[in-house]
Amino acid sequence: MIGLIDVDGKLPNLALMRISSYYKNMGEQVEFVRPDAKKSDYEKVFASAIFTKSAAECEKLQQYWEDKIDIGGTGFGDITKKLPDEVEKMKPDYDLYTADIIYSKIKGIMTKQRKYEKAQEIVNAGMGFTSRGCIRNCPFCFVPKKEGKFCQEAEIGDLINPRSNILIMNDNNFTADPYCIDKCKEIKERGLIVDINQGCDVRLMTDEIAAALKSVRHLRSIHYAWDLMAYEKQVLEGIKIISKYIPASRHMCFVLVGFNTTFEEDMYRIRKLAELGVRPYIMRYNERRDDIRLNHFARWINSFIYKAVPNFEDYEPWKKDRDSYWNIGGQITLSDLLRKE
């Protein structure tokens, strides 16, 4: 029996799905590790962690399973670690995840029925990469080190799940792909609904690319990022171009905070995006995820509270912690507050 552990993913884990296919093709039984499992239950255990915040959990798994476990992913160990070629080439096991598993991972305010419908939608979707790598070399990003230079990976047809016309594309920089427009054309011709999961590089936006993106059906908003203040001119120009084809109300912009911008610069980007009608979404830099002000800021923005309480300083949860935060120089963390209580 082969055991699998999805440490922290919110979507089906492509690596685990390929591992499952590989071992099932060899005649092995494969399942997610049961909570009451013993070491003797499994011949081998594979775990995947996406986020570095999961490192402590991965260490516990390693201590328990010892040499039986193999842990991969960007969240733990060597981020350059890859699946063996014979596993990487496998078609994902689309039967591995059930709607109930994904249901338990979905956050946000919605009815139980809508939550289950969304889980079913995700489970039935095709997913994968048509390209790997990125042309950028952003200092906060794992992709250049993990995947290297931009290259083609697979055809659109290779990613389709026969159970659905929804396609989740994990390409790291779709708009940098010289075949971006051709792929949009194929997506349209196949009648697919696409989720460009990692977003578009809005700094590379042209009228031709924007028109191609408009021509396909999108599962959710068009999304892109404004990571650093140095990108302001290019980002705003890109937003201006794509807004001619897709209304700003259908855009989401990820805003990286806690890397090398000040809080004032973070607030400036939020205000600028809101003025343009674009929904901002805060992404906290991994090494600052314990910063209590950034945590409050992220909830204020990402939960749309800023629309009801326009001034962050009037946001009650932040007001409660603000004095303590500043009394020790603005460095208080969530752990500090928990110890204080």
Inter-residue contact 46 to 69 (CB < 8 Å): yes
Q: Is residue 64 part of a domain?
A: yes
Same domain, yes or no, for 9 and 66?
yes
pLDDT of residue 288: 82
The DSSP output letter for 170 is -
Same domain, 11 and 58: yes
pTM of the model: 0.87
Give the mean model confidence (pLDDT) for residues 85-90.
94
In a domain, 331, yes or no: no
For residue 9, tell me if it sits in a domain: yes
> Average pLDDT, stretch 77-82?
87
**Which one-letter DSSP state was computed for residue 200?**
B
Distance (Å) of CA 339 to CA 53, 328, 332, 333 = 19, 15, 11, 10
Work out the angle between the directed axes of helices 316-327 and 292-302 (0-180°, nearest 10): 160
23 falls within a domain: yes
Work out the angle at residue 332's Cα, subtended by the Cα atoms of residues 228 and 227, and round it to the nearest 5 degrees: 10
**pLDDT in the model for residue 337:** 39
3-state secondary structure 98-122: CHHHHHCCCCCCCCHHHHHHHHHHH
Within-domain flag for 10: yes
Q: How many domains does the chain have?
A: 2
The two structure tokens encoding residue 341: 């209580």
Q: For residue 290, what pLDDT is reported?
A: 82
pLDDT at position 333, please? 43
Residue 275 within any structural domain of the chain: no
For residue 269, is it within any domain? Answer: no
User: 332: pLDDT confidence band, cut at 50, 70 and 90?
Assistant: very low
Encode pLDDT of 106-154 as tens digits.
887 789 999 999 999 999 999 999 999 999 989 899 898 888 899 999 9
Residue 276: Cβ-neighbour burial (10 angstroms; 0-12, 13-18, 19+): middle
**66 Rama class: left (phi>0) / alpha (psi -120 to 50) / beta:** left
Q: By residue range, what is the domain housing residue 27? A: 2-72
Residue 336 — pLDDT band, cuts 50, 70, 90?
very low
Alpha-carbon gap, residue 110 to 103, rounded angstroms = 12
Please give the pLDDT value at position 328.
58
Note whether residue 204 is domain-resident: no
pLDDT in tens, 42-52: 999 999 999 88
66 plus 115 within the same structural domain: no
Residues listed for the chain: 341
